[in-house]
Amino acid sequence: MLLEIKNINKHYGDKHVLKDVSFAATSGRALGLLGRNGHGKTTTMKIMMGIIYGDSGDVLLDGAPLAKSGAKFGYLPEERGLYQKVKILDQMVYFGKLRGMTFAGAKKTATELLERLDMTEHLKKNAETLSKGNQQKIQLAITLLNDPDIIILDEPFSGLDPVNSKMLQELINENTARGKLLIFSSHQMAQVEEFCKDVCIIKHGVVMLTGSLHEIKNSYPRDKVLVITQDGERHLVQAPADGDLASIASEYKVKGMVVDSVSIQRPSLLEIFLEKVGEDDERA
């Protein structure tokens, strides 16, 4: 499946929050939607999911409008919401039935998912009794309940402890391995870098960069060198113009340090992100 977002525009009042946003995501490859707070990630996701209207533009799945595709969606909103006074299993079954599952099917899948997320003991508890992190896991379980073809997760890692983050990463990897189309937004670049093959960076509603993460990194000049000394110190230095790495070791030797290794570094996603959106002038 190929999901294409084409020339999406959106105004909130007089503010033009999305300006011709276009990017594409494919099945089996997770796409990380990156950008600073308030730069249009969530709005883009909501428009993709049909929760809010865009002013113009198209959301296409394999060339046809997504809304008419019949594809199954799973959406984890940024602002978590559960029925606070309803039992976890009951609300999961409710959402399962709304998405076309049978009562028995929804109950079985919900139980399995909660078991997977180590939440079985909370099955019959009201949502209000759970911690924020656990509520988020429940929301994630609801998102994946109907085995969606397209999974959109808005800030899925926020509020999760390292153990739960790891659990979520496994789930994401598992779903992309199964050929699901997955888009998620996050501020944690290391995680995005770890399992996203594609990225889209948005700044002030404008797509600054989109495509394969590997290709993006390769397109950046390899002008940084990582030097690790015998003492374990790591230094990122400018690569010599002539590409002679041995000269770096010589320079360190002159300074009285013994170099253990010298390697050319590709820029990290964080560096790319900072380069693209970091020097924010707060202009709308």
Binding-site ranges for another protein (CB under 8 A): 10-13, 17, 43, 46, 49-53, 73, 75, 77, 79-86, 94-95, 97-99, 139, 142
Q: Which CB, 141 or 200, lies closer to another protein?
A: 141
Q: Smallest distance from the beta carbon of 133 to another protein, in angstroms?
A: 17
Task: Please identify, using beta-carbon distances, which residue of 102 and 247 lies nearer to another protein.
Answer: 102
DSSP string, 78-115: SS----TTSBHHHHHHHHHHHTT--HHHHHHHHHHHHH
Q: How far is the CB of 274 from another protein (least distance, A)?
A: 28
Exposed e or buried b per residue across 243-254, where buried means at least 16 C-beta atoms within 10 angstroms of its C-beta: eebeebbeebee
Name the one residue in this structure whose structure tokens are 């099917």: 105
Q: Whole-number minimum distance, CB 99 to another protein, in Å?
A: 5
* Cβ atoms of 210 and 200 closer than 8 Å: yes
Nearest CB to another protein, comparing residues 99 and 108? 99
State the DSSP H helix or E strand holding residue 35, giving kind and residue range, or none if neither: strand 30-35
Helix (H, G, I), strand (E, B) or coil at 195: helix
Minimum distance, C-beta of residue 24 to another protein, in the bound complex (Å): 21
HSE, side-chain direction, 13 A CA sphere, residue 113 = 24
50 secondary structure, DSSP code: T
| Nearer to another protein among residue 17 and residue 160 (C-beta) | 17
Residue closer to another protein, measured from CB, 76 or 272: 76
Strands across the sheet containing 224-229 = 234-238, 224-229, 259-265
Nearer to another protein, 69 or 191 (CB): 69
Least separation in angstroms between CB 113 and another protein: 15
Closest approach, Cβ 161 to another protein, in A, equals: 23
Helix (H, G, I), strand (E, B) or coil at 183: strand
Torsion of CA 144, 148, 150, 152, to 10 degrees: -20
